[in-house]
Structure 1
């Protein structure tokens, strides 16, 4: 009768790929700092863009609507791009006659609520109402999106 001896257990060596945490974290921290987009800075950009696009003493004139909206949205996009943050921006601008009864403005999104942002600012004078919404969609891949 013969007995076979089971083979000795051998340790298997598995080479692990470096994880993002094992790599240079200073890059990740820098990226995360770049993603920080504050409400104050975006709302300030929206306000300045509206005032740039529509003079505060302006009287409502339907013939100027296209010019006002174009001026506001282009100024807003330029100022946002100057922030050099890892976002793509979408700017919506509604301008109408101010009758004192308000305006309905709705935008619906489906996104990453931790990284993407939306800001809305309303401006009025005696005859004009303007509502500007900026959607900021993060384009940066971070530690969270890779896991």
Structure 2
């Protein structure tokens, strides 16, 4: 997994955060089919991998990671997030990933520590 380097140490860069999140998802469920018995394990593993990746950067942020995995069917899935924070430093990244049998949505929230 490539290192997360931001030009500004005090600002969360959404564009640079997307690739490592996709790599975490691919690493955990990349080539597999949906399996209800493994969803809890997959979601826990994805959030832990993402969290540890960002924490290893040693930047002054508190991180919140959320992962949703849903089997592909005719059902709809709608998600929304709202945050009240300092837009100059804090940020979020939401990655939508899918394969032929499931959807995965991962959201990362980074709140700067003063």
Aligned partner of 1:40 among 15, 28, 31: 15
Match of 2:88 in 1: 114
Structure 2, unmatched stretches of 5+, are 1-6
Count, aligned residues: 108
Measured after TM superposition, the shift of residue 96 of structure 1 is 0.7
Q: What TM-score do the two structures reach when normalised by structure 1?
A: 0.68
Measured after TM superposition, the shift of residue 106 of structure 1 is 1.5
Structure 1, unmatched stretches of 5+, are 1-31, 141-147
CA RMSD, 1 decimal: 1.7
Q: Which of the pair has the greater relative contact order for Cα pairs under 8 Å at 6+ separation?
A: 2
Given that 2:12 and 2:110 are in contact with CA atoms closer than 8 Å, whether structure 1 keeps it comes out as no
Q: What TM-score do the two structures reach when normalised by structure 2?
A: 0.86
Q: Distance in 1 between matches of 2:109 and 2:34?
A: 27
Q: Does 1:125 align with 2:105?
A: no
Whichever structure has more strand as a proportion of its residues is 2
Runs (4+) of structure 1 exceeding 6 A deviation are none
Rg larger in structure: 1
